[in-house]
Amino acid sequence: MMGLALRLKTFTPLIFGVSLGLLSLILWYGLLASFILPKMYRPLHHWMYGVAMITLGAWKKQKSYGRLSLAIGAILLWDDFHDLLQTLLVT
């Protein structure tokens, strides 16, 4: 029983990330894609991942994967903000 709890605790961030990714795909392609122009899909879709990564990182900032999540989330948001600006300036 103790081994199962340890394995579950080890894989909790992975399970959380996969379920969050599936939820955002369902939300994106099921609901939001019909309202947004196709050229804006990538910046906005990845923006949701960036916000989720920062949220997870802020929640678990004392853990090593929390700090990594904060850094990756910030990089994703900056990259997608840059892509969104380029998309808006081209049109």
> Rounded CA gap, 68 and 76, in Å?
12
Distance, in Å, from the CA atom of 58 to the CA atom of 74, rounded to the nearest integer, reads 11
Residue with the larger pLDDT of the pair 33 and 72: 72
**How confident is the model at residue 3, as a pLDDT?**
64
Q: Given this model, what pLDDT does residue 81 score? A: 78
Domain extents for the chain? 2-90
Q: What is the pTM of this model?
A: 0.52
Q: What is the pLDDT of residues 44-62, one digit of tens each?
A: 667 777 777 787 778 777 7
The confidence score (pLDDT) of residue 2 equals 58
Kindly tell me if the per-residue pLDDT of 70 is higher than 70: yes
**Strand, coil or helix: 63:** coil
